[in-house]
Chains A and B, each alone.
Chain A
Amino acid sequence: MVQPEIETVETDVLVLGGGMAGCGAAYEAAYWAKTKGLKVAIVEKAAIERSGAVAMGLSAINLYLGMRWNQNKPEDFVHYVRQDLMGLSREDLVYDIARHVDSSVHLFEEWGLPIFKNADGTYKREGRWQIMIHGESYKPIVAEAAKTAVGDGNVYERIFAARLLLDAKDPSKIAGAVGFSVRENKIYVFKAKAVIVTAGGATGVFRPHSHGEGLGRIWYAPWNTGSAYSMMIQAGAKMTQMEHRLVVARFKDGYGPVGMWFLLFKAVLKNAKGELVEQKWADLLKEWEPYGSGKPIPTPLRNHQMMADFRAGGAPFYLMTDEAMQRMFQEAGNDPKKIREIEADAWEDFLDMTMSQALIWASDNIDPAKAPTEVVLTEPYLMGSHASGTGAWVSGPEDIAPKEYFWGYNRMTTIKGLFAAGDGVGGSAHKFSSGSHVEGRLAGKAAVAYILDNGATPTVDEGQIQAIKAELWKPFENYEKGKSGSTKDDINPNYLFPKMALHRLQKIMDEYAGGQGSQYITTEHMLQKGLDRLKVFKEDLQKQAARDLHDLLRCWEVWDRTWCAEAHMRHMLFRPETRWPGYYYRADYPTLDDKNWKVFVNSRYDASKGEWQLEKVPFLTNVS
């Protein structure tokens, strides 16, 4: 087993993860860093040009206010998010994203992102908040701006960020991070005065619908493995709403998004009997007041209606693409040129952001203008940027946040100098690609302000680095020591390969923590059992084995997912109510309890004791 070389990099601002939020953070920090000649470095486990959830592109920007055309005010967006997520959001953070987001979108257009326009020059909307883009190159464009801003020498690609480092003299402060190269035997120690965690959400925590060769064809990106949450949890940062998972309706097997079909094409969801699911189950919403009678119907409640119909025998469900397209053809007077444009829009939605769905149409001989396509609910994901709110508990902006939610620097976690953005920040859903970018920018600017106020050079304990190095390389050692125990590599009593570890985690979560295979149902007893199993699983994870750097990457991804799984279960256990039916059900507490539980659930892991502390934190807002 070859021991890794250690390379030390000193920087002022360190950005971990080069997705939408990371690119925003690096870009903005680079601008403000200029005042004092500070250095900004960005670390990414893949290539920033095509990394993260936007790797394949997007066909819409889901958050744009259009303040310049008086289309929406930030307050309007807060009201929408409040309704969609059944009352619970950090409204200071939501407002802050809303008031800034247009500036990122205008920059995207300036940089070269093609945006659909109306005849009067306004952006073409898909829905109230969404605008349409030709977004095949969305990520490469945003990446180009970020990489150019920080400068080539400060971009570290193919490095997996594994651990945050706390200051050896003052452990309430951040000191940097440790990662390893996925290309050479090398561990990187980044010493930094401020760190911004933008390593995305968590997929693959639950057993997906897809299996076999299709295991990776899930809706959210399979390479977002929960590193952001895991690193912050282990460092002792407070986390919020780790119970607030996401489940969404998507085209079956290809996981194609449905947003454009619902919002722009006005396609409807019907069950196998041709009934409109939303109409049929309208009364069900009354059990979830005050949100049930609000408009639009919250995302979890729409799922809830589908689940009710599933149990009543309504499946399979279909999105009526055919009816919608035929109606649009008619409205266009069946003009062949217009028909062609409508067809191109329909296909581009997938060709820009979920090509597999288009390939499935071709494979199943489905012409969306002539036949509907099946829709199902996905497995759960943990993410803070979509219609869900897992992530770090961060300070809000000084001028908006209630004083209890402000501690000096916007988007700073409860660890001094540690910031987060995008999927990494909890309690502020619906930021999507544009809101994640702008939130990264907010964190990037605040990180520079923090450094200028508190810029002591961090101290890193060498002994700790050696210990992390030994820990990170342990899977190689496990393999070398254990491999003589069997005539075949992948069946061996001494170790576990990461693929089987992943399957084991997904099975535990699916069966005990309300996965799709359990109809999203869980209870106190199930969660306790799940946590027991997870404890034993974590013991076995110490025996994960790696043959090469690719395996090593997978080993630590499984660990990150496991930390997310544990946080998720502990949070669900702590909240004795069903706040988001359609995301998950606490069958032992099947109703919404606004009186006692319209509060945030926050957690903190204390590494010195190996203990979790959970608490209720009051919901406060300055937005009326």
Chain B
Amino acid sequence: MPTYVNPDKCDGCRGLARTACMYICPNDLMKYDADLGKVFSKEHGMAFNQEPDLCWECFSCVKACPTGAIVMRGYADVVPLGATLTPLRATDSIMWTAKYRDGQTKRFKFPIRTTPWGSINPFKDFPEPSPADLKKETLYGEPKWLMVDQLPTLKK
């Protein structure tokens, strides 16, 4: 179920520091091509999926594309044509629209994060670790983060 790029929408991420889809694809599939725009009489470059048969359909690029240019098309060797599944990802939630082959649609919205992006303070409220603690079995912040009095162990 590989992705394809809609040439009417892709602007090559020209206003951004990096090509969003190429940056994010976990399988190195989305590729920016500076000359591709010429084929469509555009002055900017465009992206394409360079190896569709290794696409996991993870939607990472679809969610990341700032212009909504990337679309998932069911894989041609099995999946009937005509349906679409489209995400719209905001900072705290995501909305999915499933359009069936027969035209019916379903829409769902789910939360994705309860805190602001970039807000993680990794070792909040904990003192510098001491070398003596390094020899113990407890990890950072345990047992507090376990929310029990002590780390369980076995009587050998």
Binding site for B on A (CB under 8 A): 27-28, 30-32, 34-35, 45-47, 49-52, 55-56, 67-68, 73-74, 95, 99-100, 102-103, 106-107, 111-114, 134, 136-137, 141, 144-145, 148-149, 158, 182, 210-218, 221-223, 253, 343-344, 347-348, 351-352, 355-356, 358-365, 397-400, 438, 441-442, 445, 448-449, 452, 550, 553, 622-623
On chain B, which size bracket covers the interface? 35 or more
> When chains A and B are docked, how far (Å) is the Cα of A172 from the Cα of B147?
40
Bound Cα distance A157, B130 (Å)? 31
Q: Please, how many angstroms separate the alpha-carbon atoms of A51 and B25 in the complex? A: 8
B79 on the interface (CB 8 Å rule)? yes
A65–B98 CA distance with the chains assembled, in angstroms: 35
Among A50, A134, A452, which residue has its beta carbon within 8 angstroms of that of B111? Answer: A134
Interface pair A112/B135, CB less than 8 Å apart: no
Tell me if B75 and A217 are in contact (CB < 8 A).
yes
Which B residues from 13 to 59 make CB contacts under 8 A with A? 23-28, 31, 50-59
Interface residues of A, dominant DSSP: helix
Contact of B53 (CB < 8 Å), options: A49, A50, A56, A216: A216
Closest chain-A Cβ to B108's Cβ sits at a distance in Å of 5
Q: By the criterion CB–CB under 8 Å, are A215 and B102 in contact?
A: no
Residue of B nearest to A142 (CB): B120
Q: Is the CB of A31 within 8 A of B129?
A: yes
A100–B139 CB distance below 8 A = yes
| Residue of B26, B57, B114 touching A359 (CB-CB under 8 A) | B57
Ranked nearest first, the 10 interchain pairs of A and B with the lowest CB-CB distance are A112-B115, A212-B77, A214-B75, A362-B83, A68-B147, A103-B145, A56-B58, A216-B54, A363-B83, A149-B122
A112 B154 Cβ-Cβ under 8 A: no
**Interface set of B (CB-CB < 8 Å, partner A):** 1-2, 23-28, 31, 50-60, 72, 74-85, 87, 89, 94, 96, 98-102, 106, 108, 110-123, 128-131, 134-135, 137, 139-142, 145-148, 151-154, 156
Query: A145, B27: Cβ atoms under 8 Å?
Result: no
Enumerate chain B residues within 8 angstroms of A114, measured Cβ to Cβ: 111-114
Nearest CB in chain A: distance from B92 CB, A: 9
* Contact with A222, one of B24, B54, B77 (Cβ below 8 angstroms): B54
With both beta carbons as reference points, the residue of chain A lying nearest to B145 in the complex is identified as: A103
Tell me whether A364 and B151 are in contact (CB under 8 A).
no
**A398 B78 Cβ-Cβ under 8 A:** no
Greatest chain B CB density within 10 A among A27, A74, A221, A363 is at A363
B131 contacts A35, C-beta separation under 8 Å: yes
Most buried by B among A45, A52, A148: A148
Report yes or no: B80 in contact with A363, Cβ–Cβ below 8 A: yes
User: In the complex, what residues of B have CB within 8 A of residue A68's CB?
Assistant: 146-148
A52 to B148, CA, bound (A): 31
B83 and A100 contacting across the interface, CB-CB below 8 Å: no
Which residue of chain B lies nearest to A160 when distances are taken between CB atoms in the complex?
A: B28
Task: Kindly provide the distance from the CB of A231 to the nearest chain B CB, expressed in whole angstroms.
Answer: 19
Partner of B85, one of A210, A362, A448: A362
* Given A35-B128, A55-B58, A67-B148: A214 and B1 interface contact (C-beta under 8 Å): yes
Nearest CB of A to B125, in Å: 10
Closest Cβ of chain B to A126, distance in Å, is 16
Residues of B close to A210: CB separation below 8 A: 75, 78
19 contacts between A and B (CB under 8 A): A31-B140, A35-B128, A46-B26, A50-B25, A99-B152, A103-B141, A111-B120, A114-B111, A134-B112, A158-B28, A214-B75, A214-B78, A216-B54, A358-B98, A359-B72, A359-B74, A362-B85, A399-B137, A622-B156
Chain A residue contacts of B137, Cβ below 8 A: 397-399
Q: Are B1 and A217 in contact, CB atoms less than 8 angstroms apart?
A: yes
- The residues of A that contact B53 with a CB separation of less than 8 Å are 212-216
Q: Known contacts being A32-B134, A67-B146, is A149 close to B154, with CB within 8 Å?
A: no
- Contact flag A217-B56 (CB < 8 Å), given A67-B148, A103-B145, A356-B1: yes
Closest to B147 in A: A68
CA distance A49 to B60 in the complex (A): 10
Report the separation of the CA atoms of residues A452 and B1 in the bound assembly, to the nearest whole angstrom.
49
Residues of chain A within 8 A (CB-CB) of B74 are: 359-360, 363
Contact B55 A216 (CB under 8 A): yes
Contacts of B123 in A (CB 8 A): 31, 149
Docked Cα-Cα span, A449 to B134, in Å, equals 6
- Name the residue on B nearest A99 (C-beta): B152
Q: With A55-B60, A348-B110 given, name 10 new contacts (CB 8 A).
A: A67-B146, A68-B146, A95-B154, A112-B120, A114-B112, A348-B108, A351-B108, A362-B99, A363-B82, A363-B100
Residue picked from A112, A211, A352, most chain B C-beta under 10 Å: A112
B-side contacts of A623, CB under 8 Å: 154
A616 to chain B, nearest CB (A): 24
State whether A362 touches B26 (Cβ < 8 A). Answer: no
Q: Tell me the complex Cα distance, A218–B54, Å.
A: 9
- Closest CB in chain A relative to B146 CB, distance in Å: 5
Interface centre among A99, A106, A149 (most CB of B within 10 A): A99
